[in-house]
Amino acid sequence: MLDIKFIRENKEEIKIAAVNKNIELDVDYLLELDDMRKEMITEIDNLRAKRNNLAKINHGGKPSEESIQEGKSLKDEITKLEEKFGEIDSKYLDLMVKVPTIPSPDTPVNQDDSGNVEILQWGDIQKFNFEPKTHIELAESLDIVDFEKGTKVAGYRGYYLKGDGALLVMALMMYALDKMAQKGFTPFIPPTLVKSFPLFGSGYFKGREYNPEIDEIYQVSTPDKDATGEKIKEQKFLIGTAEPALLAYFSDQTFKEEDLPIKVSGFSPCYRSEIGSYGKDTKGLYRVHEFMKIEQVVVSRADVNESNKLQDEMLDISKELHEDLKLPYRILSICTGDMAAGKYRAFDIEAWMPGMNRWGETGSASNFVDWQSRRLNIRYVDKDGNKKFVHLLNDTALPSVRPFIAIIENYQQADGSIIIPEVLRKYMGGREVISKK
């Protein structure tokens, strides 16, 4: 969400950003609605003042019939204007939540992900002296993932990690959590069942409220109860990443400038409906409804050079994690058409998956500047005493299943066994190989 004054002053740039991000937005109509709102607020305030003055005149004495009628007339007029204002304000807010952040000058401009630009590639793509297997073949052969039982129990995209598969994934999570702590990020295990405001605030709702047709979020239908046993009508949702819960932890807070930046990392199960991905990656672990992830989040001063530098540092951690695992990877600069409305600057990291013979996304680093902090009301006081909205950044440290795919496909041997990456062995009892039992 952007400041309406900023939108007015940068109207043409906002229009261009909306087009480049494939967002249907009538900026001129938004500004007209804002003008109407202001006029109506003034009119309603004037009528209320008249009504208050009338009440003061009549205070202590019996009002005349004329005065009574005037009071009723003012009340009716105020009620009608308030109803009309509510309609206009609703339309205004519907448009306001769609206003995009103007992307950074170095963001590629294109209408879809074909415009993402590779800016770095690391590691040699391994040449096998045998036909590499897919992670599905390897996992089933080693009995470390059970897709059949997963589908039976959980439905489409369900799976069981078992035995060494479960240990390998937990080793990945512990390794990433340790790395983030070493880098100065305070570890969190946040709630994964949340109210709507963390998801709206972080931009996981496309509009003002949850829309099951387009928002890839699971809503929990069972009503909650309060301490007295009364049913709570408020909606609850399962998060798709720790980011919304971590950001909401800081909502409605005002920090001192010297307290920034704040760096936190979160471990969480993640749930995604993948409603926009039907027909894509229908087999295996690449696109699933639930997984685990270590996320990194930074709260920064409202200085774009500083927040970009912090974003680069977060991305460097993701690169280091891949390099420690010796997984070939590349970095993509994300173009406007593949970028969410609130993002100022974004990068993806993709690992090479030889069994699938392609790059696969394993993380994303985003700078939202003040778009999220305005929704969540997170501010700081600068050295001159001015209150400003912070910049908010997030980046994937490691998810569970996609690096799992990259590891077993890159580390596979001719006999079907998997070499365990050296940095993970201490979390697996010092073992070096996953092989058939």
Q: Which two tokens stand for residue 307?
A: 């927040």
What is the sign, positive or negative, of the torsion defined by CA atoms of 117, 122, 128, 133?
A: negative
CA dist 85 and 83 (Å) reads: 5
Q: Residues near 174 by Cβ (< 8 Å), separated by ≥ 6?
A: 427
CB 234 within 8 A of CB 256: no
Residue 314 structure tokens? 């977060």
Quick check: bond before 261 cis, omega within 30?
A: yes
DSSP 8-state code for residue 423: G
Angstrom distance (rounded) from CA 273 to CA 91: 28
- What's the CA gap between 184 and 420, in Å, rounded? 27
Among all residues, which ones are annotated catalytic? 272, 287, 361, 364, 402
The answer to whether the CB of 372 falls within 8 A of the CB of 358 is no
How many Cα atoms within 13 Å fall on the side-chain side of residue 47? 19
Question: Coil, strand, or helix at residue 94?
Answer: helix
Phi, psi of 106 (to 5 degrees): -90, 5
Residue 276 DSSP label: G
- Concatenate the DSSP letters of all residues of 24-63 into one string: ---HHHHHHHHHHHHHHHHHHHHHHHHHHHHHHHHTTSPP
Q: How far apart are the first and last CA of the chain?
A: 55
Dihedral sign (CA 134, 140, 144, 148): positive
Q: Where are the beta strands (DSSP E) in 53-206?
A: 117-122, 145-146, 160-161, 186-188, 193-194
Rounded distance between C-alpha atoms, residue 164 and residue 168, angstroms: 6
Q: Which residues of 230-239 are buried (b: 16+ CB within 10 A; e: fewer)?
A: eeeeebbbbb
**Angle subtended at Cα 305 by Cα 378 and Cα 330, rounded to the nearest 5 degrees:** 100
Dihedral pair phi/psi, residue 393, rounded to 5° = -130, 150
Rounded CA-CA distance 286/401 in Å is 7
